[in-house]
Structure formats: C-alpha cells, structure tokens
A and B are shown apart, each in its own frame.
Chain A
Amino acid sequence: MNFDDWLLWGFVGTVVLSVVVAAGQGFGLTRMNLPYLLGTMFTPDRDRAKLVGVGCHFLSGWAFALLYLAVFHSLGRATWWLGALAGVVHAAFVLAVGMPLLPALHPRMANEQHGPTVVRQLEPPGFLALHYGVGTPVAVLVAHMAFGAILGAFCDIDLR
C-alpha cells in the first residue's frame, strides 16, 4: 500500500463526502451534519463542535480509507466502480446499523425511548437517519459512493 496515496486520497475522499452531505443540507434534502454530530460528542458548544467535528471527521475518513484499501487488496484490484460499490455497503451499514446505534454511543443524543425527562439533546437519527430528513439516505449514499470511487480510482494498491 502506498502511504502517501492513503493520506492524500483519504483526505480528498473525506472532503468530497463532506461537500456532498453539506450540499444536501443546502438544497434542503437533509439535516445531517456529520462534523456537528461528531463534535457534539465532545462539546455542547455548537460552533466549537463543528470545528472539533471536522477534525474527527478527517481522522475517521482516514480510518475508513484503510478499510477500503484492505478490501481492494483482498480483491486484488482497485477501480472507481469497486470503490463506489464498497461505498454503497458502507452507507447501508451506516444508515441501517450505525445511525440507530448512535444514541447509545453519543453522550448528547436522545433516543426514541427517551422521556418524559427532557434534556436539551440532539434528536436521534432513527432508522436510515430518516429523522434528519427523508432525503438523508440519498445524500449519505451518494457521499459514500463518491468517497469509495475516489479511493478506488486513485489509490495505488501495489499488488507486487
């Protein structure tokens, strides 16, 4: 595996993923804001949370890029469409399993069994993160496909 490729294209992939989700917000498709969700694990301050969250997001982007590269290695090839396919699996896992689990991991997130005690917390994303807008699954899917496609297209997996 080429270390420089992993760093560079993991970074680029995460940037593109973030841009796609942010565009989804801008077009009124979703309220999903990954840096904000991650950042509020560490601080309740909304502005600070976004900053902290961006840092966390890139770290997790690199971590996931490693997984993608491991997949490419095991399959012995790396192409944009294989990366996009891995992105579909990744997005499906995030939406169907990760998001419903998030309230159990996130210290400032309510769950759907929460109440009647109210504390000022983030709303739970629900199955497929539909509570953050019905367009959320689409935005998350497209973003992860783009992430995978970039890694698949540009990473040199060095199969010697």
Chain B
Amino acid sequence: MTEAAPKIQDYAVIGNGRSAALVSRGGSIDWLCWPRFDSPSLFGALLDPRTGGSWGIAPALPAEVGRRYLDGTNVLETRFRTATGAATLTDFMTAVSEEDKRRLLLPEHELVRRAVCEEGEVELVVRFDPRPDYGRARARIRDAGALGLRIDMGSWLVALHGRAAFMPAEGGGVAARVRLRAGEAVAFALTFSAEAPGVVPHLGDAAGEKLALTAGWWRRWAARARYDGPHRDAVVRSALVLKLMSYAPSGAIVAAPTTSLPERAGGDLNWDYRFCWLRDAAFTARALFGLGYEEEAEAFCSWLLHATRLTRPELRVIYDVFGETVPRESDLPHLGGYGGSRPVRTGNGARGQVQLDVYGEVVEAVTHFAGRGRPLDRDTQAMLRHYGEYVCRHWEEPDNGIWEPRGERRHFTHSKLLCWVALDRLLALHRDGRVRGIPAARFAENRDRIRRDIEERGWNPKLECYTQVLGGETLDASVLQMAFLGFAGASSERMRQTYRRVVERLGAGPGLVYRYEQSLGGREGAFAMCSFWLADFLARGGGSEDEARESFASTLRYANDLGLFAEEIDPDTGEALGNFPQAFTHVGLINAALSLEERERRDCGRLTVAAAGGRPQAVREVRP
C-alpha cells in the first residue's frame, strides 16, 4: 500500500483542548505531541516520513477516500471504499465534561480510532510506529498482553490498546492486519499517563460510548455559537478549530499545533507556531466575545494578564501556554522537513524581538473584556497604566513589526497604529472610571502626536495610500487594520484609496492578498488572514455589502475539504502553505463574518426605516 506524500491541506486536526493530532487523508496520524502542544512529537512523519513516526490505519487494497467531521464536532470520519467493501474510520481524542471525568476514570490523554466495516469485507493494515522526542529517542515497544503495547518514556507511559496480532514491522514499529466483515468493528486507544499507574481504557462498546460523549460535548459547545450571518458552517468550523488551539488549563491559545510547515515550498521559512502570540490577542478576544464564547474569552484574557506579569511593563512577543518564555530557536537536523523544507525548527527566535504593537493588542483585548462589565482589579489597572507609560516612552523607537522580519528594526506604521490604540483605549477606560490614576493629559498628548505622525509620514501622497513604514514607498496589508481599530473610517477617502492600492499591488487573485510587497518576489503565498481583512474592510463601510460577501466567499474557497486554513495560500495552485491549521486565519474568518453579519443587520435596519418612510440613518462606523 503506497500513497503520495500528503499535501498540507490533506490533513485534518483532532484534539482535546490540551493537545492536537494531524490525521492524513489516508488515515495516518502523522503529528502528535503529548502532553502539551509544544511537547516533543511522538508521531512526526509530517516533518520526515522515515524518521518522524506515525500511526496508520488504512485498507490493504487501494481505496477511494472521503472524509468529514461529524456535524458540529471535532470528530473525524474517514470513509474508505475498496474493491471488496467499505469501512469508516472514526478518529477523536476523548473530550468530555468535567462532571463526566469525575464519574469515569479516564486516561490523562486518549486518542481513539474506531473502524467499522459497512459493506462487504475490508482488510485493514494497522501500522504503529511511535518515535518519541521528534524521532530522536528509540521507542521500546513492550507487549503487555491485556495491558496493551507499552512504551515507557522516563516516568511517562504511552500505551496502545486494542485487539490485533501485532508483529514487528519492517522499517520500525509494529503492524497488524485486521479483516472486518460488514457490521464488524475494531477499536484502538492510545493513552498517555504522566502519573503512574496509567489507566487502561475500555474498548468495544465503551469506545462507542466515548464517541457519543465526545461528539455530544462538541455539539453542545458548537451550538453556543451566536452567529446568524452568512456561511454559518464555516464560522462554526472556525470556532471549533480555535477551540482545538486553546489550552484549557490556562486559557492560552496557540497559533498552530505544528512546527516548520513551510511558508515557501522547499524553502526555509519554517517556524515553530506552538506558542501564544500576544499580537493575536485583540482579534481573538473579539472573535470569541463576538460569537458568545464568553468563558473562553475571559479565560484567554485572564491568561493574558497572568502571563505578562513577570515581564511587565515590558511585554514579550510570545509566551508558552503557562506564560513562560518560549525556548530558544534550534534546529532538528535529523529531520528532513516537510517536502524537504529545512531546517525543522523548535522554539522561536521572535521571542527576543521588540514589537511595540503588542501593547495595543493587549490593551485592546482587555478593553473587550472590561467592555462586558467586568471589573478591573487594582493590579490590572496598575498594569494597564504602566503599559500606557511604556508606550509614551517608546513609541518613537523603531521595532520589528507585526510580521517579525529578522532584519533591522524600522518605524512600522502598524506598530505606531497599535501604540495609538493603546493610549486611545486607556483614555476611554479612564473616562469610564475603569482605570484610575492615569496621567490623562500626557497620554492624550502622545496619542495625538502618534496620529499626526501616521497621517503626515505614514501617508504617501504620491502613492495615495498608507505605507508599511513611516516615510516609505512599500505597501503592507496590515494598514487595513486602521478601520478595524477605529483609527480611520473604512469609508473615509484615505482608507478607500489605501484599500484600492493594497488590492492593486498586493492582490493575488479574487479574495487573496499578500501581506506585504516583500512577499512578491519570494515565492511566499498569499496571506490568508490578510485576505479575510479585505472582506472585513468592505463590510465595515469600505465597500458595498455585496462586495464584502463576494470577497469573503472568494477567500473561503481556499479552505480544504474540511473547512481548515493554513497561514498562507499558494495563489497558483490553491494549496495550503505554512503551519496548519492556523488560529490567526480562523480568527480573521470569524471577525470578517461578524462584520458581515453586523453590516447585514445595519443595512436591513436602514431599509426597514426607509420602507417605513423614515429618514435613513447615516452609516455608522462599526467599532470592534
């Protein structure tokens, strides 16, 4: 049984709010890090099919493959049809309520795979080849009979449970063949225990019960999405993806569950995204609050306040799920990389960068939080005050900017914009009595100076648009955020001109844009998040409702068959590029959809007023 190496978009993701696995279209788990997103991989074939390790379950004969998520869940169903029959493979990580956990003794982590033969007869090949520590450690698989195949990893235990006659396989690991006739099923559970003794999971009927509990949990969670706009399915799928990227014990949200999937095929733009970027904070808070996921949004804001405590008033760019500094960037030279894209990296070098925009992002996220009537305790008020003072002292300095280029620091317009946001929101919180004791006159003076600087030096009269850096000639899609953040109305002349110029110079086809001009010559893909910003901008008054809908639908077409997005999209082939799935892209999708929904509601209200003979209201700028 051979198959071509899967494309990035050929993967699906499953998880339990603490870790995630990538499953290929061919039924192979090629990426799994336990116990946390940023732990070393147990299966890493995604980054090297020979060294990384995987766990495949697929028919022995060539098969047609179809797949889907069970409605409203993160439970994956892959259907195989062969010349002799058809079988369905259901993959999920057990995800149940805390009440159910107290009732059932469950393993710390459990990945369940259940195959059911639906027609005829299907022979399945099960190949289990774990390679701990990114393939650097040798997995000694010990057959403990009814207690399963066990791999001791120091004080940790990984065990595979399930009825099959496993034999050592050529090339490593163990393999078994399982023949199923119509109506028969076989289940396997892979468990992880950090605290001995491990829990031996029940299979057979119990696997069906776990499936029912897990699917039920996800469906109840998905049903809470408060969204009535267009493309509801895509929005709910994005919310489910975002939930998979969240680390429930702390409320943190990682950018992606993978490392080193290339932004440039065969190239070296390979980064570790299994950490939490403060840059994403404001967008994430708006997406979660906007969809009505208040607990997740509050947990995220809580994590934000907790994580940043050690370094305040200075903020780092990235933190791990418990708010610690991320590891130094290092290479894994023994891994060949996805599609030969090397090096494979762990840790992230952006950890030492200066990005002034993070202050605005954090303050904006806290503003969303406070805007829901939550009181801000004295510590949080002091922290916000210190951020404002830090911004006043440093906004005139150059930084590394939102896209984290590894070159010299520059005066990025986007960074200045977010400095303006930090001071503007703090002054608003002060006016509302939420943050006391801030030097309002000083903050207001700096805020106004930043605005003047952006309007005078960030605007290029020759190009008629806002530019990437102050006094610059190059374009950057991040300036479209001025509308999102309330710096300039989307319908203002300057923003409309900027939008036109961005589409003209950075456009990569319908609904697609590159993030900046430096992408154009570098075989980098169109940036999916920025592409959703186009629809968001149009929905906020930069264009008509129809234009916004069309732009949104155009970008949506680049999702894979399950509705998942990577960081970038190859405009020529439509293939996914970069780490997968990418939380930031799905946050962009949700926010654009929320803007569309609000635009529809507003236009509908205006039509109703007009139909009733009243005077239509002037179009109000939508504020996040």
Nearest CB to that of B308 among chain A residues?
A31
- B377 engages A118 (CB within 8 Å): no
In-complex Cβ contact of A116 among B95, B108, B322, B377 (8 A): B95
Provide the bound-state CA to CA distance between A131 and B323, in Å.
8
In-complex Cβ contact of A118 among B246, B306, B310, B324 (8 A): B246
Tell me which of B243, B249, B322 has the highest count of chain A C-beta atoms within 10 A of its own C-beta. Answer: B249
- A116 engages B217 (CB within 8 Å): yes
Provide the bound-state CA to CA distance between A134 and B324, in Å.
8
In-complex Cβ contact of A120 among B35, B217, B295 (8 A): B295
In-complex Cβ contact of A31 among B15, B246, B310 (8 A): B310
In-complex Cβ contact of A46 among B251, B303, B379 (8 A): B379
- A114 engages B248 (CB within 8 Å): yes
B97 within 8 A of A: yes
B227 within 8 A of A: no
Total residues of chain A contacting the partner, CB 8 A: 27
- B217 engages A118 (CB within 8 Å): no
Total residues of chain B contacting the partner, CB 8 A: 36
In-complex Cβ contact of A123 among B17, B35, B306 (8 A): B306
- B249 engages A116 (CB within 8 Å): no
- Determine the chain A residues whose CB is within 8 A of the CB of B221 once the complex forms: 116
- Determine the chain A residues whose CB is within 8 A of the CB of B323 once the complex forms: 31, 123, 131
B309 within 8 A of A: yes
A133 CB to nearest B CB, Å: 5
- Determine the chain B residues whose CB is within 8 A of the CB of A117 once the complex forms: 17, 97-98, 217, 248
A158 within 8 A of B: no
A138 CB to nearest B CB, Å: 14
Nearest CB to that of B101 among chain A residues?
A113
Interface string of B320-358 (1 = CB under 8 A from A): 001110000000000000000000000000000000000
- B17 engages A119 (CB within 8 Å): no
The SS class assigned to the A binding surface is loop
Provide the bound-state CA to CA distance between A159 and B527, in Å.
77
Interface string of A120-152 (1 = CB under 8 A from B): 110110100011011000000000000000000
Provide the bound-state CA to CA distance between A120 and B249, in Å.
9
Residues from 86 to 123 in A contacting B, C-beta threshold 8 Å? 110-121, 123
A5 within 8 A of B: no
In-complex Cβ contact of B248 among A46, A115, A130 (8 A): A115
6 shortest interchain CB distances as A-B pairs: A115-B248, A116-B17, A115-B17, A46-B377, A131-B322, A110-B249
Which residues from chain B sit less than 8 Å from chain A, CB to CB? 15-18, 35, 95, 97-98, 101, 108, 217, 221, 243, 246-251, 295-296, 298-299, 302-303, 306, 309-311, 322-324, 377-380
A-B contact pairs, 27 of them (CB 8 A): A30-B310, A31-B323, A46-B377, A46-B379, A47-B377, A110-B250, A112-B18, A112-B108, A114-B248, A115-B16, A115-B95, A116-B95, A116-B217, A116-B221, A116-B243, A116-B248, A117-B98, A118-B295, A118-B296, A119-B295, A123-B323, A124-B249, A131-B322, A131-B323, A131-B324, A133-B310, A133-B324
Which residues from chain A sit less than 8 Å from chain B, CB to CB? 25, 28-31, 45-47, 110-121, 123-124, 126, 130-131, 133-134
